[in-house]
Amino acid sequence: MFQRVLIANRGEIALRIIRACKELDIQTVCVYSTADKDAPYLNFADEKICIGPGPSKDSYLNIARIISAAEITDVDAIHPGYGFLSERADFSEICRECKIEFIGPSPEAMFKLGDKIQAKRYARAAKVPVFAGTEGEIEELDEAVKVAAEIGYPVIIKASAGGGGRGMRICRNEASLRANVSKAQQEALAAFGNGGVFVEKFLEHARHIEIQTIGDKHGNAIHLYERDCSMQRRHQKIIEEAPAPLVERKKIEKVCQAAAKLIKSADYSGAATVEFLMDQEQNFYMLEVNTRVQVEHPITEAITGVDIVKMSIQVAAGEEIPYKQKDIQIQGHAIECRINAEDHTKDFRPSAGLIETYRAPGGLGIRIDTHVSAGYRVPPNYDSMIGKLIVHADTREAAITRALRALNEYEVGPIKTTIPLHAQLMQNSDFKTGGIDIHYLERLLKD
Ligand code: ADP
């Protein structure tokens, strides 16, 4: 097992990784930018090291500085968390060259599954259902037009290297497709350094369902069932739950098995999430594979009892996954509410600043993953998520009741947070019934 791990991240996920390392008896080194210098979570690490100023490109995204910090502090491994450098195959490769273990997939596996076109190829081979569309990247416009005519409009143009919901174009007819392909290619090249785009069928009413998987370096891979993340705004997830409500178990279990097979076929080690859209007839279509731990991993931990962060460190150190697929059983229902420092009544305007009042809920079935407390100043530089409320109960209904109870106890001020929005959503009859689609929240906020 590793002796010392450097955490190349910040905020709640840095603290989550510190906690996992402590339970594995691993020392931790946490990097930080000057914007985070007073953050209390840094004191939980055995060592902290400043890697630059607030802007991410000069600190959390600066590979040279992070590698220097790792060398100075003599760590054996780096955990990238989520966001920042977590999905950069070049970073995974540099770590390997520097003989530092990257806690995540090898650059080869990341390339196979992190690129959307490649991932679709592997998915077809593993019998994971994918959207109909162009096989690879578009080379000839006429070929894309022909494929679109076969699958029928609307279609969507997407960048192979895309991320964060950027650079996608929906085309409802041939003229629009012809007008948009080269624009999308230029945009993708500018934004992601790779101009490859492809076309696939666009689904109007979909739910977002994703499968948690994990692989090791001995060729084993298992799944930890699914999460439903349909409550979104601008492609950002707001609420996640596990298992997915109203989904036929036989169908989803087949998709779960295929997802595990997919990561196995790519010799993938570490945690990965295979994301799908599901249509109204409960057909699944793979969107992409996220080659890292996700924000919403705790709801899966709640229903399966598996510590995903700890296991990702263990498999990176060369251990075998300590479970067989049949050991993984779903227990009850879990919901996560992302607590963002935003004013949802003012178009989700960020609300950085000093937290004067902070009172977290407690009681049976409540978990709070956060790095903030009273006296913490939310810096304006980063993502606005300041914490996650995770509730677990025997049934979905009981989990919703418990989440509302916890949200009513939760006090954060004077900065604005999404707590009141969550309390409202837990009382929303469409959410309570289950099965809302990915555009539900945007429609609701418009009314
Ligand atoms: P990114 O990597 O940029 O997040 P994804 O492929 O995960 O891109 O897609 C992001 C979001 O875009 C999805 O959650 C969904 O809302 C929408 N989307 C992407 N592909 C489709 C599709 N084929 N049909 C309908 N919506 C889509």
Each residue's pLDDT, cut to its tens digit, for the chain (447 residues) gives 999 999 999 999 999 999 999 999 999 999 999 999 999 999 999 999 999 999 999 999 999 999 999 999 999 999 999 999 999 999 999 999 999 999 999 999 999 999 999 999 999 999 999 999 998 999 999 999 999 999 999 999 999 988 877 779 999 999 999 999 999 999 999 998 899 999 999 999 999 999 999 999 999 999 999 999 999 998 899 999 999 999 999 999 999 999 999 999 999 999 999 999 999 999 999 999 999 999 999 999 999 999 999 999 999 999 999 999 999 999 999 999 999 999 999 999 999 999 999 999 999 999 999 999 999 999 999 999 999 999 999 999 999 999 999 999 999 999 999 999 999 999 999 999 998 999 999 999 998
Report the alpha-carbon distance of residue 153 to residue 201 in Å, rounded.
7
Long-range contact list for 55-60, CB < 8 A, 24+ apart?
55/381, 56/84, 56/381, 56/382, 58/33, 59/31, 59/32, 59/33, 59/34, 60/8, 60/9, 60/10, 60/31, 60/33, 60/84, 60/85
- Ligand 1 binding pocket includes 151 (Cβ within 6 Å): no
- How many alpha carbons lie under 13 Å from residue 172 in its C-beta half-sphere? 1
Residue found under tokens 């607590």: 339
- Ligand 1 binding pocket includes 114 (Cβ within 6 Å): no
Q: How far is the CA of 287 from the centre of ligand 1 (A)?
A: 6
Cβ-based neighbours of 97, under 8 Å, separated by 6 or more: none
Pocket test for ligand 1, best of 82, 166, 168 (most atoms within 8 A of CB): 168
Which residue has the CA at smallest separation from atom 9 of ligand 1?
A: 165
Single out the residue of 400, 443, 416, 409 nearest to residue 349, CA to CA. Answer: 416
Ligand 1 atom with the shortest distance to the CA of 204: 25
What Cα–Cα distance (Å) separates residue 329 from each residue in 52, 219, 243, 301? 44, 22, 11, 11
What is the residue extent of each domain of the chain? Answer: 4-103, 125-201, 207-446
Pocket test for ligand 1, best of 134, 158, 228 (most atoms within 8 A of CB): 158
Residue 163 is predicted with a pLDDT of: 82
Report the alpha-carbon distance of residue 68 to residue 22 in Å, rounded.
23
Q: How far is the CA of 369 from the centre of ligand 1 (A)?
A: 27
> Is the distance from CB of 242 to CB of 302 less than 8 angstroms?
yes
Structure tokens at 167: 């650079």
- Ligand 1 binding pocket includes 414 (Cβ within 6 Å): no
Out of 169, 292, 338, 402, which one is annotated catalytic? 292
- Ligand 1 binding pocket includes 422 (Cβ within 6 Å): no
CATH class of the domain defined by 207-446: alpha beta
The verdict on whether 227 is a catalytic residue reads no
Long-range contact list for 358-365, CB < 8 A, 24+ apart?
358/411, 358/412, 359/409, 359/410, 359/411, 359/412, 360/409, 360/410, 361/389, 361/405, 361/406, 361/407, 361/409, 361/410, 362/409, 363/405, 363/406, 365/391, 365/392, 365/393, 365/399, 365/402
Single out the residue of 146, 148, 183, 149 nearest to residue 168, CA to CA. Answer: 183
Q: How far is the CA of 67 from the centre of ligand 1 (A)?
A: 33
CA end-to-end span of the chain? 54
What Cα–Cα distance (Å) separates residue 340 from each residue in 86, 236, 239, 370, 409? 21, 11, 11, 11, 17
Which residue has the CA at smallest separation from atom 23 of ligand 1?
A: 202
- Ligand 1 binding pocket includes 288 (Cβ within 6 Å): yes
Q: Give the relative orientation of helices 308-316 and 11-23 as an angle to the nearest 10 degrees.
A: 70
- Ligand 1 binding pocket includes 152 (Cβ within 6 Å): no
Residue 413 is predicted with a pLDDT of: 97
Q: How far is the CA of 164 from the centre of ligand 1 (A)?
A: 9
Ligand 1 atom with the shortest distance to the CA of 438: 16
- Ligand 1 binding pocket includes 275 (Cβ within 6 Å): yes
Report the alpha-carbon distance of residue 278 to residue 309 in Å, rounded.
27
Q: How far is the CA of 189 from the centre of ligand 1 (A)?
A: 19
pTM above 0.75, yes or no: yes
- Ligand 1 binding pocket includes 14 (Cβ within 6 Å): no
Q: How far is the CA of 206 from the centre of ligand 1 (A)?
A: 10
- Ligand 1 binding pocket includes 322 (Cβ within 6 Å): no
Report the alpha-carbon distance of residue 118 to residue 136 in Å, rounded.
8
For β-strands 353-354 and 377-378, DSSP reports them as: antiparallel
Which residue has the CA at smallest separation from atom 21 of ligand 1?
A: 202
Which residue has the CA at smallest separation from atom 22 of ligand 1?
A: 202
| CATH placement of domain 125-201 | 3.30.1490.20
What topology is assigned to 4-103 in CATH? Rossmann fold (3.40.50)
Residue found under tokens 């076969």: 150
Amino acid present at 441:
L
Q: How far is the CA of 174 from the centre of ligand 1 (A)?
A: 21
- Ligand 1 binding pocket includes 203 (Cβ within 6 Å): yes
